Chain A
């Protein structure tokens, strides 16, 4: 039994979630605070992966990341290789694909905070940056937790996009969902069973822990 796809999947989901936290927090904050009309367009773009078939997204990503695509050319310009069929390519795809799962809970949490805590912080001599880290993020903790869990779980369960841009290279792009698909293709039902059951258990545990954490946070008034 080869467990490489399991580790690869966890690595992909962790890196993706981390990047989404870094990109998503400022973006969600901007979307929650700005009055610019363009926020509607940006929101719509961010939400696209919710409605598009993963194959469509995967197809465009394949072109963009490939040797003649803009991102692929950028990577080769800096001495790298084209990004399609690489782990980096998977990360880029996953970040885009899971973006709405990070942005939406975060944006809701930021909007729920309102203006008052920001004004209070300003009268207590906290600069806007200081306020963001010491007031906004702690107050948005339930949103951060929900966003991180959903993005992680969603990346773990990703299949269509990865198949389009990553293929099935062992140790590089062959993640769990693809491995299961391959096992089934080759009628190796036993291995498919082990991986599927493991994934089922994992997903259930994540969601359960999430629920319990959320309840505890609510009890202490957050």
Chain B
């Protein structure tokens, strides 16, 4: 597993970036925080696009910056890929020429990713001869991602790659990003302020506030912490690791096993034993005092209240233990009172919808 160690001190207009940590990078690490919290600046410092006067940056064994010794490797000599927020294709080159730009400059023995592979992965075959001016926003961003991958970077940095896109283009790109995660082993640092993207893509999380990293750790743990932004957001979800237990061909269903029991979802074309991650949206979970009978909802589990937090004016967010798996439920304040929610209370959670994320 790769590890990145960073230490940056950079005064900005309203606060200064103060970051000092080392963390493992594997899969997607999201740098999450509100706009203007210094996420992009942090990413630019790692890339060498900003040169903080005092800084240290090491990616695995490669030293990229050590101000104390006057070491600063310029961006073009760092093995990294960078996808910018807005379309950044070279206007004077075709899509194919854009793709080859970085690939040509990568030493042959370092190339592990080939052009055909990336074209297939990102579905850009029909675009190759076009000029960037004739692509949609989503297409441009896919080409930009492909172009960055073709330098076979040790680390891929993505700065809110979806934020300039409309929701249709976003929906178009997200599956490609998930495939990237599944099919390539390049660690990704993904800057975002959109909790839905982070919940969907990230394995690890770095939370930033006013230039500092406040918390970092595995996504599955941080997603359900009531004191953090993700749980407080509209898209609050619990992430559950499960494996495919079997299929019911008659009813066209798939069973997933997790520590809290068995989840039933619509038939998915996955092999038995395949690991999957599912997201259980806090607003899709309802609570009852009695074991639910005669209901259309297939997924219900015995749970215990671990903590709760009122969300004025009308709602309450509840953290639940389901045999070792943490769930979140968001219900009305009125219902919370009616159920008599207290810490340690035993309840039944009914899951109205299960979103299968991807295989992990």
Interface set of A (CB-CB < 8 Å, partner B): 116-117, 119-128, 130, 134-135, 138-139, 141, 220-222
B131→A221 contact, CB < 8 A: yes
Partner-binding segment picked from B88-96, B183-191, B335-343:
B88-96
Knowing A125-B102, A125-B151, A126-B76 touch, does A120 contact B90 (C-beta < 8 A)? yes
Known: A124-B147, A126-B101. A141 touches B92 (CB 8 A): yes
Q: Is B10 an interface residue (CB 8 A)?
A: no
Q: Give Cα distance in the complex from A141 to B82, angstroms.
A: 26
Q: Which of B46-64 contact A (CB under 8 A)?
A: 47-49
Question: Residue B286 at the A interface, CB < 8 A?
Answer: no
Residue pair A125, B106 in contact (C-beta under 8 Å): yes
New A-B contacts (6) at CB < 8 Å, excluding given A123-B75, A123-B76: A116-B84, A117-B88, A125-B151, A139-B90, A139-B91, A141-B92
- Report A-chain residues with C-beta under 8 Å of the C-beta of B147: 124
* Segment 62-114 of B: residues with Cβ below 8 Å from A: 74-77, 80-82, 84, 88, 90-92, 101-102, 105-106
**Of B82, B90, B131, which is within 8 A of A123 by CB?**
B82
**B105 touching A124 by the CB < 8 A rule?**
yes
B74 and A122 within 8 A (CB): yes
Task: Give residues of chain B (21-51) contacting chain A, Cβ–Cβ below 8 Å.
Answer: 47-49
Q: Does B133 contact A (CB under 8 A)?
A: yes
B interface with A by C-beta (< 8 Å): 47-49, 74-77, 80-82, 84, 88, 90-92, 101-102, 105-106, 131-133, 147-148, 151
15 contacts between A and B (CB under 8 A): A120-B82, A120-B84, A121-B101, A122-B48, A122-B49, A123-B76, A123-B81, A125-B151, A126-B101, A127-B76, A130-B105, A138-B92, A141-B92, A220-B131, A221-B133
User: What's the Cα separation between A119 and B48 when bound, in Å?
Assistant: 10
A126-B105 CB under 8 A given contacts A116-B84, A120-B84: yes
Q: Is the CB of B91 within 8 A of A123?
A: no
Interface SS of A by simple majority = helix
Shortest 9 CB-CB contacts between residues of A and residues of B: A124-B102, A221-B133, A123-B82, A122-B75, A125-B105, A138-B92, A122-B76, A120-B88, A125-B76
CB-based contact A123/B47 at 8 Å: yes
Nearest-CB distance from A173 to chain B (Å)?
41
Q: Are A124 and B88 in contact (CB under 8 A)?
A: no
CA gap between A126 and B47 in the complex, in Å? 14
Q: Using Cβ atoms and an 8 Å threshold, which residues of chain B touch A130?
A: 105
Q: Is the CB of B92 within 8 A of A124?
A: no
The distance from the CB of A222 to the nearest CB of chain B, in whole angstroms, is: 6
A121 to B91 CA separation, bound complex (whole angstroms): 13
User: What CA separation (Å) do A64 and B197 show in the bound complex?
Assistant: 68
Q: Are B131 and A124 in contact, with the CB atoms below 8 A?
A: no
Given A125-B102, A221-B131, A221-B133, decide whether A119 and B92 contact each other with a Cβ distance below 8 A. Answer: no
Name the B residues within 8 Å of A116 (CB-CB): 84, 88
When the two chains form their complex, are residues A124 and B151 in contact, meaning their CB atoms are under 8 A apart? Answer: yes
| Chain A residues closer than 8 Å to B81, beta-carbon distance | 123
Contact A222-B92, Cβ < 8 Å, known A119-B49, A123-B82, A127-B76:
yes
Asked if residues B75 and A119 are in contact (CB atoms below 8 Å), the reply is yes
Would you give the shortest CB distance from A118 to chain B, in whole angstroms?
10
Shortest C-beta distance, A120 to chain B (Å), equals 5
Q: Which of A123, A127, A139 contacts B148 (CB 8 A)?
A: A123
Distance, CA A96 to CA B151, complexed state (A): 44
A126 proximity list for chain B (CB < 8 A): 76, 101-102, 105
Contact status B75-A221, CB under 8 Å: no
In angstroms, Cα B83 to Cα A120, docked, is: 8
Q: From B49, B77, B80, B90, give the contact of A135 (CB < 8 A).
A: B90
Q: Which residue of B lies closest to A140 (CB)?
A: B92
A117-B90, A221-B133 as given contacts; A123 in contact with B80, CB under 8 Å: yes
